[in-house]
Structures are given as structure tokens and as C-alpha cells.
Amino acid sequence: MRAERRAGWAMAAPAVLLLLAFLIVPVILGFVLSFTNARLISPEPTVFTGLDNFVRAFTADPAFFHSLVNTILFAAVVVPVQAGFGLLLALLVNRKIRGVVAFRVIFFIPVVTSIVVVSILWKFMYQPDGLINSFIDSITFGAWQGTAWLNDPSTALAAIIVLSIWQAVGFHMLIWLAGLQTIPEELYEAARIDGAGTWRQFRDVTWPCLRPTRVFVLITITIAALGLFVQIDVMTQGGPVDSTSTLVYHAVRMGYHQQQIGYGSALSLVFFVLVLIVALVQRVLTRDKD
């Protein structure tokens, strides 16, 4: 018994210590720093400033407000569209028809492409005289030449939404597909005997059986969407006029580029609270239905 206890601790120790040092301590440190004026390099000592950082964010930092709104807007569009599109793709490739596996692989290829590469590539395609506009020009027979997508505050975020879904939807297609394949074929047979058509089969068998998958898909897309950073950093740096700045982007801009670690930590904490709220709401919603 004692040997077992000692072995257990010894084998768990490396991972536990690493998680402690590089996850739990940073979480606590971030919380503490949120209430200080800490800077990365500073001649002045770090002092406790109470709620100053949060007051500043919510009253004196319009860029923060824009970032918060953009982040929520991005998630509000990406979550349903990406989840729905992913499910549609999963239903398409779930058939036992020749060649379907190849299409699964093709739809997944953008997922294994680095998001940095994807952002640069789409920035090129979104150029005023780029591929997207020349395509629009040719399908409308020159009636519309498109626009400078990323330079226009009214289109920049939408343009980023498109490429974000393009890149990530294949991942959720596979998650949905795994869920679909756990549904026993007998349920469909029974539904067909009852005279259910394609739509009724989907509504009465597929959809209810996918509930655990649905929860997982929605929660992972939401958390990823709220953490939007790379596309912004590579493509727009938050511009034009803060129309694409996000919470994480703003936190990195203030905390790292402007070296205001305390303020950046406070903004990260706001992001974390948002994630926790989403996770909690999801939990409550799913528990009620059980």
C-alpha cells in the first residue's frame, strides 16, 4: 500500500508540478495583477490599485468597449453558423457511398493549415484587386467590383468571420460525424417503418440523439470564438478604427505591447469571466433537460 501511494505520487508529480507552475499559478497571478499597476519593466514599484483597472476599462477605454462588442458579435455569428454548417457537412459525408472518405479528408484540410497561414492567404485574397473581388466582378458581369473588405469598418469583421469558419468548420464536422455514428441504425429503421421521411427521421431520431455532441460542439466553438486573436493580429491589428479589435487582442495590446501587465491582466480576467459564464450557462441548460 505504501509503495503504491509513493509510486502514485511520484508518477503524477511531474505533470502536477508543471500544471501548478504554468497554469494554476498564472491564473492566480493574473487575478492578483488585475488589481495592481504592474508593468513588465518599470522603475516604480508595483502597488495595489483596487478596482482602478476595471473602472478604467468600463468607463475610460472606448477601445475596450469596442473590443467587447466585437468579440460578442463574432461569437454570436460564428457559433450558430459554424455549428450548423459543420452538422450539414457531417450529414453529407455520413453516407456509405463511394468516395465519401476523400471528401471528409478534403473538408478537414483547412483545419491542419496554420491559422497564421490562413490569415495571410485570405488577406491576399481580400485585397481590393485580389481574388475575391475579381471573382465577384466576373459572376456579376462587372456590375459590382466588390470593396476593400478589410479596410472598411463595416465589412472587416464579416470578412474575418468568413475565413474563420472556412478554417475551423472541418473540425466540428468530424465531431458531429462521431456523434452521428453512435446512433444505432435500428432507430432509423423503426422510424422508417412508422413512415417517417427524411426530415422526420432527422427531427425525431438524429437531433435528440446528438444532444451530448451538441453541447460539446457549442461550448468548444464558443470558447474558441471568444478567444479570437491570431486573425486580428495578422490581418488588421484591430483596425480600421477598432472595428475588429477583440478582447484578447486588446488585452495583448495593452498588457504586452504597451507593457501594462496589470491592465492587460484585468482585461484577460474579463475574458475569462465571459468564458466561465458561457460554460456555466451551458451546464445549467444541459442539467435541466436531464
- In the complex with other proteins, which residue's Cβ is closer, 16 or 154? 16
Least distance between other proteins and beta carbon 79 (Å): 15
3-state secondary structure 122-146: HHHHCCCCCHHHHHHHHHCCCCCCC
- Region of 53-61, 144-152, 167-175, 199-207 interacting with other proteins (CB under 8 A): 167-175
- Region of 58-66, 146-154, 189-197, 270-278 interacting with other proteins (CB under 8 A): 270-278
d(CA 227, CA 73): 13
Least distance between other proteins and beta carbon 131 (Å): 6
- In the complex with other proteins, which residue's Cβ is closer, 154 or 277? 277
C-alpha cell at 197: 421521411
284: nearest Cα among 209, 207, 204, 219: 219
Least distance between other proteins and beta carbon 11 (Å): 4
d(CA 241, CA 252): 17
Q: Kindly state the number of chain residues that form the binding site for other proteins, as judged by CB under 8 A.
A: 97
Q: What does the per-residue mask of binding to other proteins show for 171-190, with x meaning CB under 8 A?
A: x--xx-xxx-----------
Q: Which of residues 131-160 bind other proteins (CB under 8 A)?
A: 131, 134, 137-138
Phi-psi region of 50 (alpha: psi -120 to 50; beta: other; left: phi over 0): left
8 binds other proteins (CB under 8 A): yes
Least distance between other proteins and beta carbon 237 (Å): 10
Q: Which of residues 74-133 bind other proteins (CB under 8 A)?
A: 89, 92-93, 95, 97, 99-100, 103-110, 112-118, 120-122, 124-125, 129-131
C-alpha cell at 239: 483596425
- In the complex with other proteins, which residue's Cβ is closer, 51 or 120? 120
Least distance between other proteins and beta carbon 17 (Å): 8
- In the complex with other proteins, which residue's Cβ is closer, 105 or 154? 105
Q: Which of residues 26-45 bind other proteins (CB under 8 A)?
A: 26-27, 29-30, 33, 38, 40
Among 156, 205, 217, 218, binds other proteins (CB under 8 A): 217
- In the complex with other proteins, which residue's Cβ is closer, 108 or 188? 108
- CA distances (Å), 247 to each of 231, 267, 285, in order? 13, 7, 26
